[in-house]
Amino acid sequence: MKKLFLLLFAAAAFWALGLLPFRATDAAKLLPVKTVVVMKSGDEYTVDVGAGVRAVGRSLSEALERLKEELSGEVFLPTAEQIIVTEPAEDALEAAAAEERFRPAAGLYRTPIAVPDPEALGAYLASHPSNYTVLDARAAIAAGEEPRPPRITAADGGYRVDE
C-alpha cells in the first residue's frame, strides 16, 4: 500500500511539473497542413502553408515556430504530404530535409516558381505524387550526396513534375 501511495504521489508531482512524456492537445485547435512551401530570400526563410498563412524567420525552425505564434490554433505539420522548396536555395532543401517536424514519408520537391500557391500545388501533387521523400533526402545527405528531389515547373497554365 505504501508503494502504491508513493507511485501515485510521484505521478502527481510529475504531472504538476509538466514532466510527463506526453501532453494533452485540444483536437479542435489543431490546424492540419497538407502542403508546406519553403522559400529563402537572403538570410530569411518564409514558410507558407496556404490560406494566406505564412511566417518568416532567420532559420526554418524559427519560421515554423513563428507560424505557431501567428495562429490561434496549433499548426499540425505531421499531416503535410508535400514539402516544396523554391530554388535556388539548396541550403533550404537541406534544412527542410533535416527538419524533424516534417514526417519522413512526405514528398519533397523543388521548384523555380518564385511564390508558388500551396493549395494549387497540393491539389496537383495529390494526383501526381513522386516517390522522392524527406527520408530519401536525409539518406542522401547522410551519404554525403546532394538531395535530388523532383522539380515542379509551370506548363500550359498548370504544372509538370520532372523526375
24 assigned to some structural domain: no
Radius of gyration over alpha carbons of the chain, in Å?
19
Q: Which pLDDT belongs to residue 24?
A: 59
What is the model's pTM?
0.80
Write out the chain's pLDDT in tens, 163 residues.
Answer: 777 777 777 767 666 666 555 555 566 667 788 999 999 888 899 999 888 888 999 999 999 999 888 777 777 888 899 999 998 776 889 999 999 999 999 999 999 988 888 888 888 998 888 899 999 999 999 999 999 999 999 888 888 898 7
Q: Which three cell numbers stand for residue 141?
A: 545527405
Domain interval for residue 46: 30-162
pLDDT value of position 26: 63
From start to end of the chain, where are the E strands?
Answer: 30-32, 35-41, 44-50, 53-57, 74-76, 82-86, 107-111, 151-155, 158-162
pLDDT of residue 95: 92
Q: Is 20 a domain residue?
A: no
pLDDT of residue 59: 92
The number of folded domains in the chain is 1
pLDDT at 141: 94
Angle at 99 between CA 120 and CA 33, to 5 degrees: 35
Assess if residue 102 is contained within a domain.
yes
- Residue 97 belongs to some domain of the structure: yes
